[in-house]
């Protein structure tokens, strides 16, 4: 087998290089003392990083994005807990179509979600703002949360809950004392994933944002001005570093959760 794995391994390394090419280039240009994003490189500089806090519009967009992302993460994880719990534990009429419909945004082009929500908001004459972005983001993040939480709730041993209930705990205290701690790693990982998706999402935010743009919408506006690009690269580097840290925590939480529930690691979020 190893002989055959040889060229496959070479291909896998090349493929990883292809996957990581943009991320490897990002910090290179972020520390490059030139407004032209091309080789050969000029001198090393950190001035693009120090320029970030001195750009008020950028700082405001980061704040908007953080508020939107945190709200989205909490809302979509709460909705995800309801759906995953209902899906794993109970049976009810029209279960498959209802669950399928909730998961639909996962396979719907985002532009469709964006324009159809825009049409309703226009028809109702409602003002656009951060809250409309939160609603749109919650819609697309909930299916991801459900996918993560499904395995957390699915791995849960029902007899543990029945034992607690049998020993006199109420339904709520059973959930709080037994179920919640067991699925907590799944919840943390769902929160982090939906936070990351919301922070990065562009199309829905682009259509539904009001006067306060989120970070990706602000960046989109900056990409037209060549002299602004290095600052975007610097900010991108920080974002990439941040996402890698958050994802690593999410992955550790997910693995710990599987280990705690005594399940087998099948790998990956999806």
Partner 1 sequence: MKLKGFGTSDTARGLTLIAPPALFALLLLAVPLVAIFAFSFWSQDFLTIDYTPTLKNYREALSEPLYGQLILRSVLIAGAVTLTTVVLAFPIAYFVSFHVPANRKSLWIFMITIPFWTSYLIRVFLWKVILGYNGVLNSTLIGVGIIDEPLTFILYNANAVVITLAHAFAPFAILPIFVSLEKIDRSLLEASRDLGENHVMTFLRVTLPLAVPGVVAATLIVFIPTIGDYVTPRLVGGPGGLMIANMIQTQFLKLNNAPMGATLAVIAMAIVTVIALVFIFLNRRWLKARS
Q: Which of residues 100-159 bind partner 1 (CB under 8 A)?
A: 101-102, 104-105, 107-113, 115-120, 122-123, 135-136, 138-139, 142, 146
Q: Does 86 bind partner 1 (CB under 8 A)?
A: yes
Tell me: does residue 12 bind partner 1 (CB under 8 A).
yes
Interface residue with partner 1, options 59, 63, 89, 176 (CB under 8 A): 89
Q: How far is the CB of 105 from partner 1 (least distance, A)?
A: 6
Q: Tokens 């008020």 belong to which residue? A: 56
Reference 20, options 200, 240, 242; nearest CA is 240
The phi, psi pair for 239, rounded to 5°, reads -60, -45
For partner 1, the binding residues in 43-72 under the rule CB under 8 A are none
Site for partner 1 in 163-202 (CB under 8 A): 165-166, 168, 196, 200, 202
- Overall size of the chain counted in residues: 270
Mark residues 201-230: x for contact with partner 1 by CB under 8 A, - for none. Answer: -xx---x--------x--xx--x-------
The angle subtended at Cα 112 by Cα 109 and Cα 118, nearest 5°, is 145
8 binds partner 1 (CB under 8 A): yes
Q: Is 26 in the site for partner 1 (CB under 8 A)?
A: yes
In 3D space, the residue among 84, 93, 69 whose CA is nearest the CA of residue 145 turns out to be 84
CB of 50 to partner 1, least distance (A): 20
Residue 55 CB, nearest approach to partner 1 (Å): 16
Smallest gap from Cβ 74 to partner 1, in A, equals 13
User: Please, are residues 66 and 135 in contact by the beta-carbon 8 Å criterion?
Assistant: no
* 232 binds partner 1 per the rule CB under 8 A: yes
Find the part of the chain contacting partner 1 (CB under 8 A) among 31-39, 44-52, 53-61, 176-184.
Answer: 31-39
Residue 90 CB, nearest approach to partner 1 (Å): 3
Considering only 57, 126, 244, 245, the residue that binds partner 1 (CB under 8 A) is: 244
Q: Residue 122 CB, nearest distance to partner 1 (Å)?
A: 7
**Segment interacting with partner 1, rule: CB under 8 A, options 48-56, 60-68, 175-183, 241-249:** 241-249
Least gap, CB of 267 to partner 1 (angstroms): 4
Q: Check residue 82 for interaction with partner 1 (CB under 8 A).
A: yes
In angstroms, the CA 87 to CA 210 distance is: 36
């Amino acid at each position: 087998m190893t002989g055959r794995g040889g060229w496959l391994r070479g291909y896998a390394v090349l493929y990883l290089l292809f996957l990581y090419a943009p991320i490897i280039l990002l910090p290179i240009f972020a520390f490059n003392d030139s407004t032209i994003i091309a080789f050969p490189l000029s001198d090393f500089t950190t001035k693009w990083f120090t320029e970030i806090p001195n750009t008020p519009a950028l700082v405001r967009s980061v704040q908007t994005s953080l508020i939107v992302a945190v709200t989205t993460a909490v809302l979509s994880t709460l909705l995800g807990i309801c759906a995953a719990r209902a899906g794993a534990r109970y049976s009810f009429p029209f279960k498959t179509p209802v669950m399928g419909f909730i998961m639909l945004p996962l396979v719907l082009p985002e532009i469709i979600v964006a324009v159809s929500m825009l049409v309703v908001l226009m028809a109702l004459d409602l003002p656009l703002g951060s809250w409309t972005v939160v609603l749109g983001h919650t819609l697309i993040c909930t299916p991801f949360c459900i996918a993560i939480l499904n395995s957390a709730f699915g791995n849960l041993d029902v007899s543990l809950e029945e034992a607690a209930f049998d020993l006199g705990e109420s339904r709520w205290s059973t959930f709080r004392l037994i179920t919640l701690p067991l699925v907590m790693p799944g919840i943390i990982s769902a929160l982090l994933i939906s936070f990351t998706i919301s922070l990065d999402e562009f199309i829905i935010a682009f259509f539904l944002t009001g006067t306060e743009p989120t970070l990706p919408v602000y960046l989109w506006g900056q990409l037209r001005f060549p002299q602004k690009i290095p600052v975007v690269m610097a900010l991108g580097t920080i974002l990439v570093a941040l996402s890698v840290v958050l994802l690593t925590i999410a992955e550790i939480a997910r693995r710990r959760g599987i280990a705690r529930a005594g399940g087998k690691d099948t790998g990956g979020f999806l």
